[in-house]
């Protein structure tokens, strides 16, 4: 998550719910290492471009304990990355790589918010928090399933029917592909439908967390 989510109250709450995280925080935030050395996060950033791992750290002046902090500024970065993570089992480079994957989620922002191309959450107003939370849970499950259906489309080659033959890159998000082919299922040809369902089942089984969640449902 980006700096907008950086909050010292978030980290223990996420761990209590057994949620793993990598969150970027502001460079002026105080970081204290296991030896009691305290300074702003920007001063922990090494000048050689390699990620710096701070062991046994505490964050902010209130000294909230967190599993691990990584600071880095590679040559092509506009700003340093100061990251706090629950994944103390990973190396500094792996945590940086994991945070880098955050940018792939931005491709789904329109899919989630847009009323024409996605789920239309930006046009949704719900007055009861409990009802809102239930609907958001259903939306999250639906988005996950449609995204995996989009991955199944690419595995079976159906994605080529949604783009120009000359394009070798993905031109539609996995969610968008899944949404399109889901709406096409009632009238889909059998020679398209059967391989798609086989691939979809394979992809679901490859992800044990999804298997557990949907088995419970």
In sequence order, the β-bridge partners of residue 30 are 40
Instruction: Determine which of 80-89, 113-122, 178-187 has the lowest per-residue pLDDT on average.
Output: 113-122
Sequence-distant (6+) residues with CB within 8 A of 3 are: 24, 25, 26
Q: Quick: pLDDT tens for 19-77.
A: 888 989 888 888 888 888 888 888 888 888 888 888 888 888 787 788 889 999 888 88
Q: Say if residue 109's pLDDT is above 80.
A: no
Q: Say if residue 104's pLDDT is above 70.
A: no
Average pLDDT of span 139-155: 89
Q: Say if residue 194's pLDDT is above 90.
A: yes
Q: Say if residue 91's pLDDT is above 70.
A: yes
Token output for 147: 């995204």
- Residue 119: predicted pLDDT: 65
Average pLDDT of span 151-168: 83
Q: Which residue stretches of the chain are H helix? A: 10-16, 92-100, 102-105, 109-113, 129-156, 174-184, 190-206, 208-216
Q: Say if residue 3's pLDDT is above 90.
A: no
Give residue 170's pLDDT band: very low, low, confident or very high (50, 70, 90). confident
- Residue 182: predicted pLDDT: 93
Determine the 3-state secondary structure of 146 from DSSP. Answer: helix
C-alpha span between 20 and 99 (Å, rounded) = 12
Q: Which of 116, 105, 170, 169 is nearest to 143 (CA)?
A: 105
Please report how the helices 190-206 and 129-156 are oriented relative to each other, as an axis angle in degrees rounded to 10: 120
Pairwise pLDDT comparison (181 vs 106), residue with the higher score: 181
């Amino acid at each position: 998550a980006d700096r907008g989510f950086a909050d010292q109250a978030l980290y223990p709450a996420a761990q209590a719910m057994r949620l793993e995280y990598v969150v970027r925080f502001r460079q002026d935030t105080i970081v204290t290492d296991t030896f009691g050395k305290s300074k702003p996060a920007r001063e922990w950033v090494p000048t050689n471009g390699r990620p710096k791992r701070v062991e046994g750290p505490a964050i902010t002046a209130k000294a909230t304990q967190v599993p691990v902090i990584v600071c880095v500024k590679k040559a092509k970065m506009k700003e340093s990355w100061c990251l706090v993570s629950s994944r103390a089992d990973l190396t500094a480079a792996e945590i940086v790589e994991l945070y880098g994957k955050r940018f792939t989620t931005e491709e789904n922002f329109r899919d989630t918010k847009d009323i024409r191309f996605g789920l239309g959450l930006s046009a949704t107003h719900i007055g009861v928090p409990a009802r809102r939370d239930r609907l958001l849970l259903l939306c999250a499950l639906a988005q996950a399933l449609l995204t995996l259906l989009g991955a199944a489309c690419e595995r079976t080659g159906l994605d080529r029917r949604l783009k120009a033959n000359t394009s070798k890159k993905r031109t539609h998000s996995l969610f968008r592909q899944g949404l399109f082919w889901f709406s096409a299922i009632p009238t889909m040809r059998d020679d398209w439908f059967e391989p798609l369902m086989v691939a979809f089942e394979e992809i679901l089984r490859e992800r044990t967390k999804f298997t557990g969640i949907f088995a419970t449902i």
